[in-house]
């Protein structure tokens, strides 16, 4: 009898504990110091918007463990970039429905990073203010530590005004965002507008260029880098990637790791203590340079750029 009582109490405690976790998840309870302020989370996603759009059922919340079931195939990039929590809410107006996926990210740089990876060619919607791109199928946007997408799975053009109104509601709730210093790292001269990409590990790096296996630039899901495309005088293009490590010794260490673990298909042309130059299988060249506390890489470039 004693064993039965002990077993029953253990089960009861486990159920109560799980119930608390689920309740915290629904309320958006903090999971770490980097989460957005409670005053912001309390009103996101909006309960309703416009005159006739209301939630169709309860909000669904997904944490890191759940995200792979929700967006299989894309979750790795979100997690690497700094995903904290996803709030999913469907809204209805009669027979019409639109869906909001609101991602809490670690900070504004992480949110902007996801936006850069998902925006495609930016096509802003008239009268909608805020960093976004969209059409009648989807609006993709970010502000502060939030990245969000509004989906119209029916594709009906008449729902675009409602999608825009929902986006305005989300934008208005998030406080004014602080400047993202990483955006100033790249030179603006010759930069192709809309080509910026933020990296934070192998998933995001491989969307730009494959340098080698694993986390070859040792970003460790903590250090952000930024890349962009540049047009040269002869209209040739190259990609520049800058990673500020904040420590000269760290930058030199990563440079050494890159040189030692460079992908075998990249043929090394020149290598000294500050510079590494290589040619790829497309007969384009790339290079890495240690510049004080940062690593500067030029990729997919004409080889003449590296000639001395």
The DSSP secondary structure of 268-299, one letter per residue, reads: EEEE-SSEEEEE-TTS-EEEEEEETTEEEEEE
Are residues 165 and 209 located together in one domain of the fold? no
74 and 139 inside one domain: yes
Whether residue 280 is contained in a domain is answered as yes
> How sure is the predictor about 17, in pLDDT bands with cuts at 50, 70 and 90?
very low
Q: Does 15 reside within a domain?
A: no
Show the CA angle centred on residue 276, arms to residues 273 and 277, nearest 5°: 150
Q: Would residue 13 count as lying in a domain?
A: no
Count of domains for the chain: 2
Task: Look at residue 4 and tell me whether its pLDDT is greater than 50.
Answer: no
Per-residue pLDDT at 39 exceeds 80 = no
Judge whether residue 42 has pLDDT over 90. no
- The count of other CB atoms within 10 Å of the CB of residue 28 is 20
Decide if pLDDT at 202 tops 80: yes
- Average pLDDT over every residue of 15-35: 38
pLDDT band at 3 (very low <50, low <70, confident <90, very high): very low
The whole-angstrom separation of Cα 145 and Cα 177 is 8
User: Domain boundary at 173, 204, 219, which?
Assistant: 173
One domain for residues 95 and 233: no
The verdict on 104 and 146 lying in the same domain is yes
Average pLDDT, the chain: 87
Residue 38 sits in the same domain as residue 155? yes
Task: State pLDDT tens for residues 216-245.
Answer: 999 999 999 999 999 987 778 999 999 999
Q: What is the mean pLDDT of residues 104-127?
A: 96
How do the residues of the chain divide into helix, strand and coil, expressed in percent and rounded to 5? 30, 30, 40
pTM of the predicted protein model: 0.85
* CATH number of the CATH domain containing 144: 3.40.1000
Q: State which of 141, 173, 205 marks the end of a domain.
A: 173
Q: What percent of the chain has pLDDT over 90?
A: 75
Is residue 100 within 8 Å of 186, Cβ to Cβ?
no
Percent of the chain with pLDDT over 70: 86
| Position 24 pLDDT exceeds 50 | no
pLDDT at 41: 62
Whether the pLDDT of residue 7 is over 70: the answer is no
How would residue 34 be classed by pLDDT, with cut points 50, 70 and 90? low
Q: Work out whether strand 60-62 and strand 131-134 pair parallel, antiparallel, or are unpaired.
A: unpaired
Asked if 164 and 302 sit in the same domain, the reply is no
CA–CA separation, 240 and 287 (whole Å): 10
Residue 35: pLDDT band with limits 50, 70, 90: low
Claim to verify: residue 77 and residue 191 sit in the same structural domain: no
* Termini Cα distance of the chain: 86
Average the pLDDT over 113-127 and give the result. 95
Residue 58 lies in a domain: yes
Q: Is the pLDDT of residue 184 over 80?
A: yes
Per-residue pLDDT reduced to its tens digit, 127-179: 899 999 999 999 999 999 999 999 999 999 999 999 999 999 999 999 877 89
- Whether 215 is in a domain gets the answer yes
Domain, as residue range, for 42: 26-173
107 in any annotated domain: yes
24-28, 40-44, 56-60: least confidently modelled range: 24-28
Average pLDDT over residues 114-133: 95
pLDDT for res 51: 87
Cα(267)–Cα(276) distance, integer angstroms: 11
Q: Is the dihedral of CA 192, 259, 282, 224 positive or negative?
A: negative
Q: pLDDT per residue over 244-278, tens digit each? A: 999 999 999 999 999 999 999 999 999 999 999 99
């Amino acid at each position: 009898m004693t064993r039965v009582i002990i077993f029953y109490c253990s089960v009861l405690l486990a159920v109560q504990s799980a119930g608390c976790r689920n309740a915290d998840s629904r309320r958006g309870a903090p999971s770490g110091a980097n989460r957005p302020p409670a005053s912001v989370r309390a009103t996101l996603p909006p309960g309703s918007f416009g005159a006739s759009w209301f939630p169709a059922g309860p909000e669904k919340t997904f944490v890191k463990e759940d995200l792979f079931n929700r967006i299989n195939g894309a979750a790795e990039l979100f997690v690497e970039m700094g995903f904290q929590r996803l709030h999913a809410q469907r809204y209805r107006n009669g027979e019409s429905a639109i869906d909001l996926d609101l991602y809490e990210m670690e900070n504004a740089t992480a949110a902007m990073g996801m936006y850069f990876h998902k925006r495609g060619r930016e096509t802003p919607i008239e009268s909608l203010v805020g960093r976004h791109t969209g059409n009648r199928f989807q609006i993709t946007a970010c502000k502060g530590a939030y990245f969000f997408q509004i989906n119209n799975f029916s594709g009906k053009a008449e729902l675009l005004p409602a999608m825009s109104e929902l986006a305005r509601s989300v934008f208005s709730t998030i406080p004014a965002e602080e400047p993202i210093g990483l955006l100033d790292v790249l030179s603006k001269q010759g930069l192709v507008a809309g080509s910026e990409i933020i990296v934070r590990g192998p998933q995001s790096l491989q969307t730009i260029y494959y340098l080698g296996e694993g986390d070859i630039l040792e970003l460790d899901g903590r250090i952000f880098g930024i890349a962009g495309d540049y047009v040269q005088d002869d209209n040739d293009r190259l990609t520049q990637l800058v990673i500020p490590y904040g420590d000269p010794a760290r930058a030199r260490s990563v440079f050494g790791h890159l040189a030692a673990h460079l992908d075998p298909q990249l043929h090394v042309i020149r290598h000294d203590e500050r510079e590494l130059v290589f040619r790829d299988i497309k007969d384009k060249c790339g290079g890495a340079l240690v510049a004080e506390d940062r690593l500067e890489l030029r990729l997919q470039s004409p080889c003449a750029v590296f000639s001395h």
